[in-house]
Amino acid sequence: MNQGVLLCKLDDLPDNSSRGFLPDAQGQDTVFIVRRGSKLYGYSDVCPHYGDTALPWKKDVYLDAGGDYIVCAAHGALFTPDTGECVKGPCRGDFLTPLKITVTAEQDVVLLCESRGKEQ
């Protein structure tokens, strides 16, 4: 069994929405999820441009106005939601760090801890 962190209920994530979780001491979220249909994509909330700053300009706003791309608001980098690849902006070609997310039979959205910090 994986140890996990309960993030929310699946119903808390409407289709094509994004949401941040697990705020740090400054109140900025450290992970986020984008929902596309039945798929959930989870990433560390760290932009590869400097590798040390979070993406959104406002809590939970990780997508562009059309809902097509994940945006880093600092310098407008765009990432594809399904792969996390930066397709435009400073860190073009780099990837967001993906996280393992699972939905339990009880519809709990859980972050699997083994996926955190796996780069180390």
Partner 1 sequence: MNIIGPDLLIFGVDDVEACKQFALDYGLTQASEHRFVALDGTGIDIYSKDDSCLPAPLETGSSIRKTIYGVADTATVDAIYDELSKDREVKRLDDGSIEAVDDMGFVLGFQVTMRKPLDMPAEKINAPGAPAQRPANETGVSKDFTPEPRTLSHVVYFVPDYKKAEAFYAERLGFITTDRFSHVGPFMRPAGTTDHHTLFFLNTPPHMKGIEHFTFHMSGPTTVVQAGNRMVEKGYQSFWGPGRHIFGSNWFWYFKSPFGCNMEFDADMDLHDDNWDAREALPGADNSQVFLLQYREKWAPMGPPPPKG
Q: Site for partner 1 (CB under 8 A): which residue of 9, 39, 51, 57?
A: 57
- Find the Cα–Cα–Cα–Cα dihedral 43, 47, 52, 56, rounded to 10°: -80
- 8 A C-beta contact, residue 67 and residue 16: yes
Residue that has been written with the tokens 């780069």 in this structure? 119
Contacted entry of partner 1, ligand FES, none for residue 27, CB cut-off 5 to 8 Å set by kind: partner 1
Q: Site for partner 1 (CB under 8 A): which residue of 1, 14, 37, 65?
A: 65
Residues in the chain: 120
Q: Site for ligand FES (CB under 6 A): which residue of 8, 61, 78, 90?
A: 90
Site residues (vs ligand FES, CB under 6 A):
47, 49-50, 53, 72, 74-75, 77, 89-90
